[in-house]
Structure 1
Amino acid sequence: MPSLPLFTTAYLLSLLLFHGQATLPWIWSMAFDTFGEKSVILFAWSAVFLLLGIRGGVSRQATEKLGWFILGFAMAQLCTGIQAAAHQQAQVPLACNKQTIQSEFRLLEKAFRDNNAQTWLIEHTPRDHAVATQCLVTGARLQNFVETVSTYRALQPGEYFRATVRIKSPKAPLQLEGFDVHRHWFANRIAGTAQFKSKLEQLPEQTTLNPLVWMERARLQIAGTIVTALQSHPEQALVLAMVVGDQGLISPEDREMFSATGIAHLVAISGLHITLFAMLAGKLFGALWRRSTRLCLRVPAPLAGSAFGLLFAVLYGLVAGWGVPAQRTVFMLFALFVGQVRGGMQSSWDTFFLALFLTLAFDNWAVLDTGFILSFGAVAVLIFVTQGHYHFIKPKHEFIANAVKAQYTVTIGLVLPCAMLFNQQSLISPLANALSIPWMSFVSTPLALLGGLTQQPVLLWLAGNSLSLQREWLVFFNELSWATLPIHNQPWWVNGLVGLGCLILILPAGLIPRWTGITLIALLLLPPPRPEHHDFWMTLMDVGQGTAISIQTQNHLLIYDAGPAFNARADSARRVVLPWMAAHGYRRADMFMLSHDDADHSGGAPLLLQKAPPVQFASSINKQHSLNLLAQTLKSDTAQCHVLKPWTWDGVTFTPIGLDTPAHSHQKLLAKNNQSCVLKVSNANHSVLLTGDIEAISEIALLTQHGANALKSRVLIVPHHGSKTSSTMPFLQAVRPEYALIQAGWENQFGHPHKAVIERYEAMGVQWSNTAQNGAMKWRFKHLDFQPEVDNAHALRQRYWHMHESGAKGR
């Protein structure tokens, strides 16, 4: 048996176990400090390749097979452990957060963003190593958002500059499920973020022979041509993504449409496109090679064509940003080329495992990438049904039949990954791909690539126009009510059975009844877990400096506030609230209560109303406010929260505690914060008081108007994120909370929660928790249990790349 599949399988399993660790074992930090990163890894891989060469790549005995398996497992631990230790030591320490330093840097890459802005990746390259040891080690990579790019247009990748920058540690909100930005930063060796605080002083260019630097400059040149040539074209962003892999200009709405129609894999450079153009380039070069008898006698034309096609694929992949799909395709083409050179028959599994091995060896964090799962998953399924033990697609079948069955196979094979990663399954995907794959492969992509490489605006415009035509059918498909099937999170055992069902459906007919597979896949539609009657669950989402809370009862959902808007493209509704609803099987809320119209509470409100119109929208804003008008347009009932009457859902009581604010009230009482909706949620043993951003004057008003008994609650959502203008002693003595929960951004500019406020809670013996340290928190209040059950994201999702989470405690 070939050794490579054994070695690669062990390497993959070892990586999965390694990346599941909560902390990094000390041995890897010690090894890195002692031997360094490159020397150990280079020596280890040299030994492996030597063994592969000596043994001929074949394991003949059980002990040899076991040996290769153990070696693969150990290699993954060694390489990933030392690299992880290097990544950790490069990260900006907490003590240096928001520090301003002056040093020297090298520009690695530029990516385009809206309004002529760019995102830069820079590397710390100080001449004075004393600077490096304080806050930034030499080689630390920082991500920087640059608004005034015209000032630095001349600066090219690979060039050096001196600047004063404000650095921040890699610390971001963390949810109980979904995308982990900390993992993304760590896998891409991003040590923190930076903000320029001075003009850039360009340093004399150092001679570089690094071909990757010149490739990055060429990539930037092509991207700049596309952005300039298609400045006013609606498909500018898509052409840019297709040619150089920069998706920064694609709107969130377009991303959602591509995902819903199942063509997201075609948006950036896909493996299909690289393979297609590599084959065309190889065929053309081979035809030219055949014209010379002398050349053919030295190297056969097919081999020369394959070599050129592989070279073209490598260059194409580098221009496209060298993402996981590009890596997988290039490495598979390389594996095919190796088989051609060896002159023997090479199975598709040999090609697959060689490509998998090279991808994992090149990037030990690729296994965490969504593209890795989808790319290798799709290829493995296709190999299994075409050249595995079961020949589901027969060689004699017609082309169209094979294409249809291949699409069916991939669709079934990726049902479970799509459900787990995206909480949806595109039902329109087969039809959308049947139209878009040939159109983009043979029309749009060739025009875009030729236009970019030859700097021809006419070709770029033709590519953009072809994509505009494609948009017509994508928009039509996207607007179909049945285009996507929402799928909520399921427990591990359900996912296991669903995977088995997918396997049954791609096996040949007659082995296992098809209805068995369909029944198992249908388990994805099992209802999501819900509280029992009289119970309720509360989730404090981690939205940074802002508020977004969900209250679940057996058959109802209340969303309290929608968090902040981060920029023109992103807000808490899109990043946090709507994904949370999808993961838990909600299409809409029964009530969306907006405490008040401040950016950190209402930033996500417009999108939440548009994407998931609630049954009722309650708020403290006036009737003519744009949000009320939007809710009415979307057929949601609107209400003023201060005059709402108590109601009961599934045995749980909801009591609005209104503020009586007549027209002659003090002006400060009429301010937005002090108009916040206050809501009490309770059952037999538990009560929670949601307070928005009320301050001292409203706390006194509530106490005066309603009395202490109305306010008394076991759990208090701390008013105004712990501001020193709230949480007054009379108010706390009235509420008498046992637990105080704070939603605040880590080291936010307002200093929330204030030290004096925390001391006040601690003096009363109140247990307090903050999303800034714990991430999102889920509290389960059972009417038969006096003690609430609590989950927090930091505890449940703790991984070694969250090294700053524990260090941020109590800050």
Structure 2
Amino acid sequence: MRLNLLAFALGVFVLQGVAALPAPPVYLALLAALLPAWLYARRQRPAARLFVALACVAAGFGWAALRADLRLADDLPADWEGRDVRVVGVVAELPQPFDRGDRFVFDVEAVLSAGARVPARVMLSRYAGGGDEMLPALRPGQRWQLTVRLKRPHGNANPHGFDYEAWLLERGIRATGYVRATPPPALVDALVPRPGYLVELARDAIRARFLAELAGADYAGVLVALTVGDQRAIHGDFWRLFARTGTTHLMSISGLHVTMVAALLAWGVGFLWRRVPRLALRLPAQRAAVAAGWLGALFYAFLAGFSVPAQRTLFMLTVAALALLSGRRTAPSRTLALALGLVLALDPWAVLAPGFWLSFGAVALLFYAASERLGEVAGWRAALARWGAAQWAVTLGSLPLLLLFFQQFSLVSPLANALAIPAVSLLVTPLALLAALLPLPGLLQLDHWLLARVMDFLGGLADLPVLELPAPPPWSVVVALAGIVWLLLPRGVPARWLGAVLLLPALSAPAPRPPAGAAWMTVLDVGQGLAVVVQTATRTLLYDTGPLYSAESDAGQRVVLPYLRALGVGRLDALVVTHADSDHAGGAASVLATLPVARVLSSVDDLAGEPCAAGQAWEWDGVRFAMLHPEPGPPRARTKTNNRSCVLRVEAGGRSVLLTSDIEAADEAALLARAPAVLKSDVLLVPHHGSRTSSTPAFVAAVDAPDVIFPVGYRNRFGHPRPDVVARYAGRRLWRTDRDGAVRIVLADAVELSAYRQVHRRYWHGR
């Protein structure tokens, strides 16, 4: 059974990597192949096991394809994007407040606009107007009539970046958009009493009470996350602290928390049950304790929003509880395999989340490391040894996966978790749940005080070194995991040290760099904005830092820094911030706060560094850089920020790329008058995202680039690139970050361009 469940999981995983879904007859045939395989397996022939395993791979592939096809069929027609649609539906989950409004998941029950078709579940944003205008309160379970504007699921597509479209697909959200202020929203029903909405309403009430009672407290959001699973309540600075100490898993509702709560509840009920003879005679205390623990795990899993770690733990506890109640023993590996199959049957997209791999991997390693390694020795020394072995197994086992997903590993993680795990799982989380159920005076304040002591401890460790390495090749991660399995073999097995040798490829794989005389450039997909990474053999330059998304989020932290970290870039040799507009300079603060920068060039007055000016030039590793604009000297009075944009030309192997930022027609004319010969390039980053104020015919003809790139956001409010501007580049290869994702340029003796969405095409892209 375990082999077959793993084979099913493999089929699900393979499907999530395909560029297009197979036709329905194909995946239905793959599903149907399981029955004859099972009948053949009953002959008990040795080849039958392999045959059934292959059939399970096919069944997993077919099941995932069936689920994907059904979900993708619930789409928003392209001709209804950006149009007003009147809908009636229910607020389905916790609303999430942000700087100027809130965001919420909405279950559409009826579409009132004639001819419109809207997916059953959408994500909507509401925005407050100017002044002191207040938005009407939203609560889960409310039925509203709204006028909305929607667009199909779309997210930034970058190497080593977060796949927002896959995340939306997993949650069944098939369109995003915003609520129109006119006509005003109308509340239809205060509560739709369905079980899922009632759970969300309870989560919302607990969150509101916690935030009210702990108003102004530093770690109120952490307690909210530990109780109801709302991780967005945690401030972004705390996530960085948790990442540096390797305790991120503790500050969300993990399988460990669910298990600890279930164990505490089971122990408490069993302790009391044994002391009431009438109860013990009716039902053995052990069975009562198992039932209570399972009910506690069920309650906590739903309170947490039924996340993948909570699902995995609940399914495992369910199998274990059924085995205990029936008097049968079930191997831990079989329990874990059953949980794996159930999770993927319900949610085939779970394999796309790092948490899935870290969660199941950690539990598998714990079972593996705990399998009869300490003999029958009892006492506190054996307990301490078991605890140490578990910590060593999880720490070592998570190393290659953390490097693959996040390119960093906390060296103080074992020490931090040694205190934080028992403190958070046995004290902070149970007290928070008790406070959620019984609002006793002072209980939340006591819990916050305990959490503050844990945070003080973690804060003292956060400044210690963190291992940061470039993203290892996937094959090296597989080799490293095999090495870890070998290292954790029981004592006495010869040559266990060979396992450490298998870790070396993942820990020492060098980041690829271009050869001398060549440059690699990546125009990142940051939405409506610009960020370009330029690499030579030994140097790295960043040209603009992308937009500011919100008061707590920008492209620097969400796109640029993860990409640089995956490349193994620990410092920037130059940062060019072309001008002060937030779509170009919005991520600068995050980049400068995180990475050392040798040289800053900009036209931003309040940014430390030197002003960029025509005539500046330098050479790195045989690659030449030349600044062409703006002219030296102080800017003229009332000069627009766009007109001060830094224009950079990069040349390697006799080929060149022209990076133009947001220059406009007057700046293009000045460049044509000042240096027309150097404008001719092989690749052009189109000025000002393709607006009507740029790309004059004379400039387009002078540059004469065979490849042009439009850095634009999907359905941006400016309408960039303008159709008449696109028409001026007729006859050239046109690249767009909203359609193609990040665009990579290899600049050498020849020029090669590729798009992330083409190279890494997935079946949900554009759907």
- State if a TM-score over 0.5 links the two structures: yes
Q: Are positions 1:343 and 2:323 aligned together?
A: no
Please report how far the alpha carbon of residue 292 of structure 1 lies from its aligned counterpart in structure 2 after TM superposition.
Answer: 5.1
- Report the equivalent of 2:186: 201
Please report how far the alpha carbon of residue 270 of structure 1 lies from its aligned counterpart in structure 2 after TM superposition.
Answer: 2.0
Q: Deviations over 1:622-656 (max 9, x none)?
A: 3xx1x21xxxxxxxxx2221055311100111111
- Report the equivalent of 1:427: 411
- Report the equivalent of 1:188: 171
Q: Are positions 1:496 and 2:459 aligned together?
A: no
User: Superposition pairs for residues 10-159 of structure 1, below 5 Å?
Assistant: 10-27=7-24, 61-62=45-46, 65-66=49-50, 68-70=52-54, 72-114=56-98, 117-126=101-110, 134-137=116-119, 139-145=120-126, 151-153=135-137, 156-159=139-142
- Report the equivalent of 2:644: 675
Q: Are positions 1:695 and 2:692 aligned together?
A: no
Please report how far the alpha carbon of residue 345 of structure 1 lies from its aligned counterpart in structure 2 after TM superposition.
Answer: 2.5
Asked if 1 retains the 8 angstrom alpha-carbon contact of 2:519 and 2:534, the reply is yes
- Report the equivalent of 2:743: 777
Identity of aligned residues (%): 34
- Report the equivalent of 1:768: 734
3-state DSSP class of the match of 1:558?
Answer: strand
Q: Are positions 1:797 and 2:766 aligned together?
A: no
- Report the equivalent of 1:646: 617
Please report how far the alpha carbon of residue 796 of structure 1 lies from its aligned counterpart in structure 2 after TM superposition.
Answer: 2.0
3-state DSSP class of the match of 1:554?
Answer: coil
- Report the equivalent of 2:604: 621
3-state DSSP class of the match of 1:642?
Answer: coil
3-state DSSP class of the match of 1:780?
Answer: strand
3-state DSSP class of the match of 1:214?
Answer: helix
> Where do 5+ consecutive residues of structure 1 fail to align?
33-39, 629-637, 805-811
Aligned to 2:678, which of 705, 710, 715?
Answer: 710
Seen in structure 2, the aligned counterparts of structure 1 residues 212 and 58 have a Cα distance that, compared at 3 Å, is farther
User: Superposition pairs for residues 358-437 of structure 1, below 5 Å?
Assistant: 358-387=342-371, 391-396=372-377, 398-437=382-421
Q: Deviations over 1:307-331 (max 9, x none)?
A: 1210111001111211111111111
- Report the equivalent of 1:37: none
Aligned to 1:561, which of 538, 544, 553?
Answer: 544
Aligned AA (1:692): S
3-state DSSP class of the match of 1:430?
Answer: helix
Q: Are positions 1:161 and 2:129 aligned together?
A: no
3-state DSSP class of the match of 1:203?
Answer: strand
Asked if 2 retains the 8 angstrom alpha-carbon contact of 1:451 and 1:458, the reply is no
Please report how far the alpha carbon of residue 436 of structure 1 lies from its aligned counterpart in structure 2 after TM superposition.
Answer: 0.7
Asked if 1 retains the 8 angstrom alpha-carbon contact of 2:644 and 2:663, the reply is yes
Aligned counterparts of 1:182 and 1:86: Cα–Cα separation in 2: 16
Aligned AA (1:769): W
Please report how far the alpha carbon of residue 157 of structure 1 lies from its aligned counterpart in structure 2 after TM superposition.
Answer: 2.6
- Report the equivalent of 1:660: 631
3-state DSSP class of the match of 1:414?
Answer: helix
Aligned counterparts of 1:736 and 1:341: Cα–Cα separation in 2: 77
Please report how far the alpha carbon of residue 361 of structure 1 lies from its aligned counterpart in structure 2 after TM superposition.
Answer: 2.2
Please report how far the alpha carbon of residue 206 of structure 1 lies from its aligned counterpart in structure 2 after TM superposition.
Answer: 7.6
Of 651-660 and 285-294, the range deviating more from structure 2? 285-294
Please report how far the alpha carbon of residue 406 of structure 1 lies from its aligned counterpart in structure 2 after TM superposition.
Answer: 1.0
Please report how far the alpha carbon of residue 147 of structure 1 lies from its aligned counterpart in structure 2 after TM superposition.
Answer: 5.5
Seen in structure 2, the aligned counterparts of structure 1 residues 645 and 581 have a Cα distance that, compared at 3 Å, is same
Aligned AA (2:578): S
Aligned AA (1:719): P
Please report how far the alpha carbon of residue 426 of structure 1 lies from its aligned counterpart in structure 2 after TM superposition.
Answer: 1.1
3-state DSSP class of the match of 1:538?
Answer: strand
- Report the equivalent of 2:298: 314
Asked if 1 retains the 8 angstrom alpha-carbon contact of 2:141 and 2:192, the reply is no
Seen in structure 2, the aligned counterparts of structure 1 residues 699 and 207 have a Cα distance that, compared at 3 Å, is closer
Please report how far the alpha carbon of residue 692 of structure 1 lies from its aligned counterpart in structure 2 after TM superposition.
Answer: 1.2
Aligned counterparts of 2:89 and 2:635: Cα–Cα separation in 1: 60
3-state DSSP class of the match of 1:310?
Answer: helix
Q: Are positions 1:257 and 2:241 aligned together?
A: yes
Seen in structure 2, the aligned counterparts of structure 1 residues 500 and 70 have a Cα distance that, compared at 3 Å, is closer
Aligned counterparts of 2:490 and 2:42: Cα–Cα separation in 1: 31
Aligned AA (1:534): G
Q: Deviations over 1:674-699 (max 9, x none)?
A: 11111111122311111111111111
Q: Deviations over 1:4-57 (max 9, x none)?
A: x1331121011011111111223179989xxxxxxx99xx9xx99xx99x99x9
Aligned to 2:490, which of 491, 505, 508?
Answer: 508
Q: Deviations over 1:577-607 (max 9, x none)?
A: 1001100001111000111111110000111
Aligned counterparts of 1:295 and 1:701: Cα–Cα separation in 2: 91
Aligned AA (2:756): A
Aligned counterparts of 2:374 and 2:127: Cα–Cα separation in 1: 52
Please report how far the alpha carbon of residue 224 of structure 1 lies from its aligned counterpart in structure 2 after TM superposition.
Answer: 1.2
- Report the equivalent of 1:266: 250
Aligned counterparts of 2:523 and 2:592: Cα–Cα separation in 1: 19
Aligned counterparts of 1:247 and 1:123: Cα–Cα separation in 2: 22
3-state DSSP class of the match of 1:166?
Answer: strand
Please report how far the alpha carbon of residue 291 of structure 1 lies from its aligned counterpart in structure 2 after TM superposition.
Answer: 4.7
Q: Deviations over 1:498-542 (max 9, x none)?
A: 233323322235545354333332322232110101011010000
Aligned to 1:758, which of 717, 723, 726?
Answer: 726
Aligned AA (1:491): P
- Report the equivalent of 2:268: 284
Asked if 2 retains the 8 angstrom alpha-carbon contact of 1:681 and 1:689, the reply is yes
Asked if 1 retains the 8 angstrom alpha-carbon contact of 2:89 and 2:143, the reply is yes
Asked if 2 retains the 8 angstrom alpha-carbon contact of 1:114 and 1:249, the reply is no
Aligned counterparts of 1:758 and 1:410: Cα–Cα separation in 2: 54
Aligned AA (2:187): Q
3-state DSSP class of the match of 1:194?
Answer: strand
Q: Deviations over 1:447-480 (max 9, x none)?
A: 2221122134521121112222222121111112
Please report how far the alpha carbon of residue 297 of structure 1 lies from its aligned counterpart in structure 2 after TM superposition.
Answer: 4.4
Please report how far the alpha carbon of residue 252 of structure 1 lies from its aligned counterpart in structure 2 after TM superposition.
Answer: 1.7
- Report the equivalent of 2:654: 685
Aligned AA (2:268): L
Seen in structure 2, the aligned counterparts of structure 1 residues 231 and 507 have a Cα distance that, compared at 3 Å, is same
Aligned AA (1:754): R
Aligned AA (2:319): A
Asked if 2 retains the 8 angstrom alpha-carbon contact of 1:651 and 1:683, the reply is yes
Aligned counterparts of 1:758 and 1:518: Cα–Cα separation in 2: 56
Aligned AA (1:269): I
Aligned counterparts of 1:462 and 1:664: Cα–Cα separation in 2: 58
Q: Are positions 1:542 and 2:525 aligned together?
A: yes
Aligned counterparts of 2:374 and 2:655: Cα–Cα separation in 1: 60
Seen in structure 2, the aligned counterparts of structure 1 residues 457 and 171 have a Cα distance that, compared at 3 Å, is farther
Aligned counterparts of 1:269 and 1:543: Cα–Cα separation in 2: 30
Aligned counterparts of 1:218 and 1:663: Cα–Cα separation in 2: 60
> Where do 5+ consecutive residues of structure 2 fail to align?
none
TM-score for both structures, normalised by structure 1: 0.88
What is the alpha-carbon root mean square deviation over aligned residues?
2.8
Aligned to 2:157, which of 149, 171, 174?
Answer: 174
Asked if 2 retains the 8 angstrom alpha-carbon contact of 1:163 and 1:197, the reply is yes
Asked if 2 retains the 8 angstrom alpha-carbon contact of 1:113 and 1:249, the reply is no
Asked if 1 retains the 8 angstrom alpha-carbon contact of 2:700 and 2:728, the reply is no
Aligned counterparts of 1:400 and 1:664: Cα–Cα separation in 2: 69
Of 531-540 and 652-661, the range deviating more from structure 2? 652-661
Aligned AA (2:641): K
Please report how far the alpha carbon of residue 792 of structure 1 lies from its aligned counterpart in structure 2 after TM superposition.
Answer: 1.3
Please report how far the alpha carbon of residue 726 of structure 1 lies from its aligned counterpart in structure 2 after TM superposition.
Answer: 1.1
Alignment: residue pair count: 757
Seen in structure 2, the aligned counterparts of structure 1 residues 650 and 239 have a Cα distance that, compared at 3 Å, is same
Seen in structure 2, the aligned counterparts of structure 1 residues 64 and 683 have a Cα distance that, compared at 3 Å, is closer
Aligned counterparts of 2:635 and 2:472: Cα–Cα separation in 1: 54
Aligned AA (1:640): P
Aligned AA (1:505): L
Aligned AA (2:598): V
Please report how far the alpha carbon of residue 78 of structure 1 lies from its aligned counterpart in structure 2 after TM superposition.
Answer: 4.1
- Report the equivalent of 1:519: 501
